[in-house]
Amino acid sequence: MAEPGTRAGFAVYVVDDDASVRDSLALLLGLRGFRSALFASAEDFLAALQPDWQGCLLTDLRLPGMSGLELQHALRQRANTLPLVIITGHGDIAAARAAFKSNAVDFIEKPFDDAALLAAIEAAFAAEEARTSAVRTQERRRQAWALLTERERMVAELIVVGMHNRDIGEQLGISPRTVEVHKARIMDKTGARNLADLIRLAGR
């Protein structure tokens, strides 16, 4: 597991209307090696938000204007997947349930324990790391699929539905040996190690 603060490009985006809370969080995060960006309101955060931001969002529940839960909903409407940790001095079961239902990583009450808060941020970073890794892998595979010739794609599509070389050859009017040559090129271009890899690639 990566040490705190070592994930390149990751940051903790803090949204809290209390300047003293923002400052104390920035100090805590900085001492632990995390990059941070501070916002006094949900509206300020949304105005600054960039699609390539990675890390996690740490937001107060009760904010002037848009609340923390409303901010969470706004991010979902934008299809933004930045993991979210909610902090509040006014926690209640209904708010916690709403936050978790919308996939919040954690819900922490003020005054919060530093260790618990840092653990929640680490969990959020781990989730973000897994998501971004999956996205990169999917993009690499999509690009690899695009490298296939039309005939290779035809062969690949028949392979993944379970057809054998002989049957594929008969359907396409080529020899089983030629099918095998195409199959080898397909596996090489896509980086698929086996049939299961190729099926997953085709599905994406």
Q: What is the DSSP letter of 37?
A: E
Per the CB < 8 A criterion, the answer to whether 73 and 94 are in contact is no
> Tokens 């904010």 sit at which residue?
63
CATH 3.40.50.2300 residue ranges for the chain: 10-140
CATH 1.10.10.10 residue ranges for the chain: 147-203
- Per-residue pLDDT at 5: 44
pLDDT level of residue 103 (50, 70, 90 thresholds): confident
Q: How many other β-carbons are positioned within 10 Å of the β-carbon of residue 149? A: 12
- Nearest alpha carbon to residue 58 among 1, 112, 105, 14: 14
Listed in sequence order, the residues at least 6 apart from 11 whose beta carbon sits closer than 8 Å to its beta carbon are: 34, 35, 36, 37, 53, 54, 55
Percent of all residues in the chain with a pLDDT value above 70, rounded to a whole number: 92
- Nearest alpha carbon to residue 46 among 71, 70, 22, 21: 71
Average the pLDDT over 58-78 and give the result. Answer: 90
Strand arrangement, sheet containing 106-109: 36-39, 10-15, 54-60, 84-88, 106-109
- Per-residue pLDDT at 113: 87
d(CA 20, CA 40): 11
State the pairing for strand pair 106-109/84-88.
parallel
- Per-residue pLDDT at 25: 94
Is 10-140 assigned to CATH 3.10.20.30? no
147-203 CATH, one of 1.10.10.10, 3.90.1150.10, 3.65.10.10, 3.30.530.20:
1.10.10.10
